[in-house]
Amino acid sequence: MMTLITGGAKCGKSHLAERLLDDFTDNKYYIATMEPFGEEASAAIARHRRIRAGKGFETKEKYTSLHELELPGKSHILLECIANLCANEMFGGSEICDPTDSIMRGTEHLKSRAETLVIVTNNVGSDGIDYSKETNRYIEVMGRVNRLIADISDNVIECVYGFPVILKGKL
C-alpha cells in the first residue's frame, strides 16, 4: 500500500504520515532527506527527531539516489520529503539537472521493498509569485514528480489545516 501526503508548510503532513504507521513495529523506517544545512534545517531535523522518538522508527538519512538504499522486504517506510529530495538532486551537483527519473527510480525501489510506503511531499507553486528561473524550474519539476508519484499511489491525501482530505483511495 502506497500513500502520498501533500499540503502546505506546517499543515500536519508529518503527523498524519506517522499516524498511518503507528500500528507497525518491525521493519519500520523513516527515510530522512533533509540535509542539515544551517541552523533552521538543523532545528527542523531536531524537532522531527523529538516527535518520532519512541515510535519505533529506524532513521535512514538519504539525501539523493534513493534507489541505492538497502532495506529488507516487507518494510514499513515513511519517506520525508520529496521536496527536499528534489532540491538535493536538482541543485547538489555542479549543474542544475532534472531529477525526475532518479526520484521515480528511487520511489519504485522503495515501493518494491515496502509493505507500506508513506511519502510526504509539499504543494509548491500555488502561491502565484514570480520566482527566479531556477526556482520556477524547481516548481515545475516538483509538479511533475508529485503527479507521477500520485499516479502510482494507492492513496493521495492533502492535509489542510491538520485535516486529511482524500483525493484518491481511502485513509
Tens of pLDDT, residue by residue over 109-123, are 999 999 999 999 999
pTM of the model: 0.92
Q: Would you say residue 5 lies in a domain? A: no
- Residue 29 is placed in which grid cell? 523506517
**Total domains, the chain:** 1
Cα distance between residue 168 and residue 171, in whole Å: 9
CA atoms within 13 A on the CB side of 6: 22
**Domain of 120, in residue numbers:** 30-129
Reported as type and span, the H/E element at residue 23 is none
pLDDT at 48 over 90: no
pLDDT, tens digit (0-9, with 9 covering 90-100), for 129-150:
788 999 999 999 999 999 999 9
107 within a domain of the structure (yes/no):
yes
Predicted confidence (pLDDT) per residue in 68-91, tens digit: 999 999 999 999 999 999 999 999
